[in-house]
Amino acid sequence: MTRGKPNRLIHEKSPYLLQHAYNPVDWYPWGEEAFSRATAEDKPVFLSIGYSTCHWCHVMARESFEDPQVAALMNSSFVNIKLDREERPEIDHIYMAVALELMGTGGWPLTIVMTPEQKPFFAATYIPRGSGFGLVGMLDLIPMIDTAWKERREELLTAADKVTVLLRMPSADKGGGSAQEVVARTLGDLRSNFDPEYGGFGGPPKFPTPHTLIFLLRAFQSTGDQDLLSMAEKTLLAMHAGGIYDHAGFGFHRYAMDASWLVPHFEKMLYDQALIAMAYIEAFRVTGQARYRAIAREIFTYMIRDLRGNEGAFSSAEDAESGGKEGGFYLWTRDEIGKVLSGNELVAFTGYYGICRDGNIPRHTGAKSSGDNILYNAKTEERVAADLGILPGDLGNILASAIEKVRAARGDRPRPARDEKILTDWNGLALAALAMGARTFGSGEYMEAGKRAATFILSTMVTKEGRLLHRYRSGEAAVDGNADDYTHLTWGLLELYHSTLDISFLERAVAITDIFVDHFWDGERGGFFFTPDDGEPLIARLKPVHDGATPSANSVALSNLLTITRLTGRTRYLDIARDLVSWYLREHAGSAAASTWMMASLNRALNPSVEVVVVGDPEAADTRALLQVVNSHDRPEMVILLKPATGDPILDHLAPFTRGFTAKSGKASAYVCRNHACELPVTDPESLKGILDSSPAQQVQG
């Protein structure tokens, strides 16, 4: 399509909005100007929500928003608003809840038609240009809505009022039961929903849900139930073997269309990489199996190589499309592979990764083969080695050489577009993952990557009052921080403190949590709102508790509050955590399987806590020896503080209980407190190891 005159989106920073800046649709960004015009012209508002790496958003744009006939109808009947769900998640949350209420389902692109007062009366996802195959197209739908607005206005307004009232009502999802009962019930639900053949939960499409896998791994550690470990491992191994994993360039695609994890939806999101890396790190910690470490390292390679920006923080995502084709960057024909590889490398590669002449993507009966292949582990190394008549140990080098050549050849293709915007919440998850990886694998590279990203966020995405901003792009930090920004960044900073023992990270985590509690906590009913008390007025102020692609803010908040309580000894945070749990059990525990990170946090609260304070010169060998023991026993219920032998006024302020802890006889000393009772200090690493080995959780793990 030839570019015409730009619309108002040309002045925006969002890559998604800029993708639509030359549409013939008279788009507005979300804001007062659009709603004032809708009021003045007595028109409904057409709100289209998506994100830059969304495949079906691109399809709808090409079919409808770039079509002059559709655009003319939209411009005549509506005031049209484009919204980037990643830039304005607080608005997306509201209207996705509307879609779920009106349709029982949701997704992106999300289409909402509403009154100038922001009250919705129509919801849909993807809408084609023309009608057919059971779908009403834009060319027919727009005149229908226009007629209804002009001739049956009262019906629409009544419907809009009902939906708005429902949004504002407290959740009807009642709970009941103790925390122990809710956690046990959720584990039972996961067992019932588990796919024993391919791993994962439920049928296609299949999402990785790494927070669920982490919950299973942690529940195994606290119970010793081997079934929980088996469910997590089955899923992690099947995910990595499938096409949802990018075997040539690393990192995970968004989700799989099928039950076996073969056919992915090809976009790659930062939050997926961070959370999935954490799941493999936890699997390595629990099992000690090197393959989980290798997979986590590959994910970090992808993140640092392909998602990190010049500022040190991480971009949001890579597109599903390349060269106008979904998955075009990742798919291979047999002939294309044959131009890159030959001999044993060709035989080994095509056998191991399932490459065939007709393509390996399932197709409908009678459909013509595309010849496209997705790389996945089709055969075991033993079987491929037998096919070649070589020893399995010799196959690794052949496959490694072949994949390097395929990766290099793929580098000549047009890369998928990268969404360059930096989001505070998603970077918080990246910080947490990198810090965990640095601590678990002893990686200075991951440590520096996490610290560099944190430095950018804390210097650029924070106002002078200490409030967080949500989005940065092209030199501009903007959009008030939401609950995910505060909780996810705090999570990352707490993990960074755990890994670096740099007190400044703990200090910032506590300060950000204090602001979060002051502006997001619901003092009447309990729970944290998604938007602050002084944020933009919207038609509803929600308190999301169910996990989506990322854990909910309330779930992460509970984990953070428990960590800060144990690090500082301050009862304020424990009191809020208790109130948060009470609210959750009272109002939301009935759908606990949709909140597995809350379950992980509750499980942590139910298990004995372990606090370790090491006192000594941070650079001295005896201090480092004690810290090494502590890190080798790292587990979710444990926190660690480092107190310099000469004292630290910041630590004294943050954690007053440490003031009486001193180095004994001039040697680095470790104080271990479990379940609110402290052992006598020890100076010998073996003695510290013995104390930590005696933990009930550690015994289960062993």
Count of beta carbons in the 10 Å neighbourhood of residue 546 = 18
Domain termination residue (choose one: 168, 191, 226)? 168
Cis peptide upstream of residue 204 (ω within 30 degrees of 0): no
pLDDT of residue 364: 54
- CA within 13 Å, CB half, 445: 7
Which residues lie closer than 8 Å to 458 by C-beta, 6 or more apart? 508
What b-and-e string marks burial along 145-162, b requiring 16 or more CB atoms within 10 Å of the CB? bbebbeeeeeebeeebee
Residue 15 lies in a domain: yes
pLDDT given for residue 104 in this prediction: 83
In-domain check, residue 456:
no
Query: Does this model's pTM top 0.85?
Result: yes
Token pair of 523 as six digits:
């003092």
Contacts of 579 (CB under 8 A, 6+ apart): 526
Give the range of the structural domain holding residue 646, as residue numbers without chain letter.
610-701
* Domain C-terminal end among 168, 190, 225: 168
pLDDT at 665: 86
The reply to whether 390 falls in a domain is: yes
Q: How many domains does the chain have?
A: 3
Residues 424, 426, 427: CA angle, nearest 5 degrees: 65
Residue 700, pLDDT score: 34
**CATH code, domain with 119:** 3.40.30.10
pLDDT for 322 equals: 87
Q: Is residue 241 part of a domain?
A: no
Helices (H) and strands (E) in the chain, counts: 27, 19
> Does residue 370 form part of some domain?
yes
Average pLDDT, 10 consecutive residues per value, the chain (702 residues): 80 95 97 97 97 91 95 97 97 93 88 95 93 88 95 93 85 76 95 96 93 97 96 98 97 96 96 98 97 98 96 96 89 96 95 95 66 95 91 90 96 94 98 97 96 98 97 96 98 97 97 98 96 94 92 97 95 96 90 91 91 94 95 90 94 92 92 84 93 62 32
**Spatial separation of the C-alpha atoms in residues 576 and 561, rounded to whole Å:** 8
Q: Is 519 a domain residue?
A: no
User: What's residue 196's pLDDT?
Assistant: 96
Q: How far apart are CA 584 and CA 52, in angstroms?
A: 34
N residues, the chain = 702
pLDDT at 1: 45
Rounded-to-integer distance, Cα 200 and Cα 209, Å: 8
Tell me, yes or no, whether 27 lies in a domain: yes
pLDDT at 384: 93
Flag whether 400 is in a domain. yes
Q: Where do we find the tokens 């910080």?
A: 431
Of 141, 168, 195, which residue constitutes the final position of a domain? 168
Q: Please, are residues 125 and 76 in contact by the beta-carbon 8 Å criterion?
A: no
